[in-house]
Amino acid sequence: MVQRFRYSKWDGTQKGFELDAYDVFSEMTDELLYHGDVNSALRKMLQQGFEDRNGERIQGLRDMLENLRRAREERLEQYDLGGVYDEIRDALEEVVDMERNTLQARIEQARQQAENASPDSADKRNADLAESSAMDKQFNLDTMPSDLASQVQQLGDHDFENPEARQRFEELMEQLREQLMQQYLDQMSGAVNDMSPEDMQRMKDMMAELNNMLEQREAGEEPDFDGFMDKFGDFFPENPRTLDELLEIMAQRMAAARAMLNSMTPEQRAQLQALSEQLMEDMDLAFQASQLSQNLMNAFPDMNWDQSYDFSGQDPVGMSQAQAMMQELGDIDQLENLLRGATNPGALAEADIDKARDLLGDDAANSLERLGELARMLEEAGLIENKEGKLELTPKGMRKIGQNALDELFRKLAQDKIGKHQLERTGIGVEREYSTKPYEWGDPFNLHIERTVRNAITRTGGGTPVRLEPQDFEVERTEHLTRSSTVLMLDLSLSMPMRDNFLPAKKVAMALHSLITSQFPKDFMGIVGFSEVARVLQAHELPEVSWDFVYGTNMQHAFLLSRQMLARQSGTKQIIMITDGEPTAHIDERGQPFFSYPPIQETVDATLTEVARCTREGIRINTFMLDPNSYLRSFIEKVSRMNGGRAFFTTPDNLGDYVLVDFIEQRRKLVSTPR
């Protein structure tokens, strides 16, 4: 079938492109070059976020943590947790008022009946008894203790005159029992509502069995979790798949319930705890709940059981609302701890995206999900690999860094139309140009067989044998390349990052290496890093190279190593030196590094001696100075006069322009005439 595609005008609502591994890698390039570490670059990207190809902002962990902090503060500054106490107190006062009004009506009614009855009649005595009973009950209500637990106990023993008040009190007690049970078993309202004695016994059996499984695990035995879920799975609508998952859910909720108590004033806390003991009339159930709480605290000692929140708002909240808020604050804390501890994208896989969506919104949740995919995307693209738990660049990733650096510099040079240069001259060489020409006397006899035979067949009209004539001959053109050997001397002294020169210099090094290996594969490029001492760097080490935490700029040693490398090469030879400091170190007669600032004459003389040796061996030294002072300018000008090389006074912003322009222009001049 022929595939059909439908195109429409871009209106800004289309997504355009999905997140791409190469785009992510480009975002990481500067950080990779600066620190030379994939893990560090990914951590920074996680923290700061980035923009995708659609221009959409992928939030970083810092943004999310700030949003979580604000979400917590908004709740704490709006609500007053004393409403939990007030809600129960107000409900009890409503019941007492209803009963008191009824009792007052009974008293007035009894007094009226007594007035209308004969003094010694039975009706008079009954009326007096009714009045006395109602007044006793009223007195008990008026002298009721102030604490909730005592009020509940006294009202539980009270013989209500008002049936509606009695029903309201019983409903309130049932509601409070349910809410208190939800401190242990949240979202089990189906099992808690309207509990029959059989339901209560089944809950006790469930809690006892759960405690037994915890004790079995503590003893090194394997609990029968599947059997437990077969019997009591209806208590757990989340459908946990393992005992660990079930216990963690319960521990988090129980910690949230404890946080509510911890966040109350001492008076409020004492009131609710006493009320809880009063309502938990079934002592066996209270024992099992207490034991479960202790077992969960032992199983999850790192959970923040002492968490409390400082509410400072004015809006009172009831018990059910407070429990939901505590669960929400617990979710905020849990997500915050996860984000703070995330050192790599894989750690974000444990985040509950749905909870993040509820707490932070769709944009943050989508960002969190995409951040968690970064490492996997880069691994699947072959740019990084996991070696013993540490992410490292692959050879493909190293090449891509160099190409990214080169592309960035070439984009800056686009207005000058330098671009990727092409050779126009042809001659004998090792690179085929993949074009042909009719043979002329004096041409190298690099015969192109296919075209030669085709010319003969075209001339004769076909048939065998094919007879060749001189006019049939076509030869291959070849591109003649003059070999160039370059050593890049890269300053790794501590002054480079201190002056913000290290990243531009390393980016140029990566770009130059990428340019030479891709466009001039027959050329040689060596790399020497130098600070207090110099060392030869291999190409695969360059992405991970960082500055040295030492003082000293040992150009003498670097020139020595560069000269030794170039002695084994052919073609035109040059050294490209990138530095921001004058020579302050050299290798002394004992072979030890010597450092002095300001530079001493001995260091300067040792450095110029190596410059003279490079000059005698035909090695040109081109120097690119970053933020040069007067002493460095004077020294480099002396090097240029001795060597015949060039000196460039540059800044971090235009360093790449200078180096690439100069290299390309000089490389073009090396192309010789055809042989």
pLDDT of residue 491: 92
Lowest mean pLDDT among 84-98, 193-207, 377-391, 624-638: 193-207
More confident residue, 523 or 601: 601
Q: How far apart are CA 585 and CA 478, in angstroms?
A: 48
Lowest mean pLDDT among 63-72, 419-428, 457-466, 494-503: 419-428
> Structure tokens of 203?
């809950």
pLDDT tier at 426 (50, 70, 90 boundaries)?
very low
**Do residues 435 and 543 both lie within one domain?**
no
User: How many Cα atoms occupy the beta-carbon half-sphere of 116 within 13 Å?
Assistant: 7
More confident residue, 171 or 529: 529
Could you report the per-residue pLDDT of 358-393, keeping only the tens digit for each? 888 888 888 888 888 788 888 888 888 777 777 777
Say whether pLDDT at 415 is over 50.
no
Q: Which residues are registered as beta bridge partners of 542?
A: none
**Do residues 381 and 455 both lie within one domain?**
no
More confident residue, 194 or 639: 639
- Asked if residue 413 is part of any domain, the answer here is no
Give the residue from 140, 167, 182 where a domain finishes: 182
**Do residues 63 and 131 both lie within one domain?**
no
**Do residues 445 and 585 both lie within one domain?**
no
**Do residues 541 and 662 both lie within one domain?**
yes
**Do residues 617 and 489 both lie within one domain?**
yes
Could you report the per-residue pLDDT of 545-578, keeping only the tens digit for each? 888 888 889 999 999 999 999 999 888 888 988 8
Q: What percent of the chain has pLDDT over 70?
A: 76
Cα–Cα distances in angstroms (integers) from residue 15 to residues 5, 388, 522, in the given order: 17, 37, 44
- Asked if residue 407 is part of any domain, the answer here is no
DSSP string, 416-471: GT--S-------S-SEEEEEEEE--TTS---B-HHHHHHHHHHHHTS-SS----GG
**Do residues 115 and 169 both lie within one domain?**
yes
pLDDT of residue 19: 66
For the chain, give the mean pLDDT: 77
**Do residues 92 and 73 both lie within one domain?**
no
| Contact by Cβ (8 Å): 513, 545 | no
Residue in 336, 400, 380, 367 with CA at minimum distance from that of residue 46: 367
Task: Name the one residue in this structure whose structure tokens are 């040069």.
Answer: 628
| Contact by Cβ (8 Å): 655, 505 | yes
Say whether pLDDT at 605 is over 90.
yes
More confident residue, 414 or 234: 234
Question: Among 97-111, 399-413, 439-453, 653-667, which range has the highest average pLDDT?
Answer: 97-111
Say whether pLDDT at 14 is over 60.
no
Say whether pLDDT at 289 is over 50.
yes
Could you report the per-residue pLDDT of 240-259, keeping only the tens digit for each? 888 888 887 777 777 776 77
Give the residue from 460, 479, 498 where a domain finishes: 479
- Asked if residue 234 is part of any domain, the answer here is no
| Residue 315, helix vs strand vs coil | strand
pLDDT of residue 420: 40
> Which whole number is the average pLDDT over 439-455?
80
> Which whole number is the average pLDDT over 588-605?
92
- Asked if residue 662 is part of any domain, the answer here is yes
**Do residues 473 and 498 both lie within one domain?**
no
CB-based burial label for 2 (10 Å; 0-12, 13-18, 19+): exposed
pLDDT tier at 432 (50, 70, 90 boundaries)?
very low
Say whether pLDDT at 533 is over 90.
yes
Residue 139 burial (CB count, 10 A): 11
- Asked if residue 545 is part of any domain, the answer here is yes
The CATH number of the domain holding residue 632 is 3.40.50.410
More confident residue, 670 or 451: 451
pLDDT tier at 674 (50, 70, 90 boundaries)?
very low
Q: How far apart are CA 297 and CA 130, in angstroms?
A: 55
* Domain carrying residue 147: 86-182
| Residue 646, helix vs strand vs coil | coil
More confident residue, 184 or 2: 2
- Asked if residue 220 is part of any domain, the answer here is no
More confident residue, 612 or 381: 612
pLDDT tier at 425 (50, 70, 90 boundaries)?
very low
Residues 6 or more apart in contact with residue 498 via CB below 8 angstroms: none
pLDDT of residue 378: 81
Cα–Cα distances in angstroms (integers) from residue 16 to residues 11, 52, 579, 591, in the given order: 11, 10, 44, 61
**Do residues 456 and 386 both lie within one domain?**
no
**Do residues 457 and 345 both lie within one domain?**
no
Say whether pLDDT at 120 is over 90.
no
- Asked if residue 62 is part of any domain, the answer here is yes
- Asked if residue 92 is part of any domain, the answer here is yes
Say whether pLDDT at 424 is over 90.
no
pLDDT of residue 80: 77
**How many domains, the chain?**
4
pLDDT tier at 446 (50, 70, 90 boundaries)?
confident
Could you report the per-residue pLDDT of 28-83, keeping only the tens digit for each? 777 777 767 777 778 888 888 887 766 678 888 888 889 888 988 888 888 877 66
Give the residue from 421, 450, 479 where a domain finishes: 479
**Do residues 349 and 468 both lie within one domain?**
no
